[in-house]
Amino acid sequence: MDYIKALLSNEMFVAAVCSWATAQIIKTIINIILTKSFDPGRLVGSGGMPSSHSAFVTGLATSAFIHAGPASPAFAICFVFAFVVMYDAMGVRRETGKQAELLIRFTEIFSANYDEFQTPEETLKVLVGHTPLQVFFGLLIGIVVGVIV
C-alpha cells in the first residue's frame, strides 16, 4: 500500500496519467458526437483525436520541466522520449493503419470473388496512428494538464 501512496504522490506520474485520461475522455466524447453512439473501447483504444500517447508523454515531459528544470537529466529523457513517441505516432504507426485499410479492402475483394479464400476471423486494427493535428492536440492537452497538476 505504501507503494501506491508513493506512486500517487509522484506528480510527474500523476501528470502523465491525468493527461492520458483527459485525452481518452475527449476522444470518447468526439466519437460519441460523430457516431451518435457510445463505444467503451474508445476509452482505452489507440488512434483518433486527440492523441492520448502524445498527451501522456507531453504531460510527463511538462511535469519534468516544472519539477526538475530544463537542464535536468529527467527533463532531457522525457523530452527525447516524447519526441520519439510523437514522431512514431505520425510515421510508422500511421502507415500501419493505412496498410491495414488496404489489406482489409483486398480481403473483401478476395472473399467476394474467390470461394476458396477464407475471410480472417479478426479484422485488422486501422486506428493505430495519428495525423499531425491529432498529435498536436495531444501535445496541447499534455502541456495544459502537466501545468495544472
Better-predicted residue by pLDDT, 90 or 142: 142
Please report, for residues 3, 103, 118, 119, 139, the alpha-carbon distance to residue 10 in angstroms, rounded to integers and kept in the order given.
11, 44, 51, 48, 21
Residue 88 CA to its chain's centroid (Å): 11
Max avg pLDDT among 4-8, 110-114, 115-119? 4-8
pLDDT for the residue numbered 120: 60
Question: How would residue 97 be classed by pLDDT, with cut points 50, 70 and 90?
Answer: low
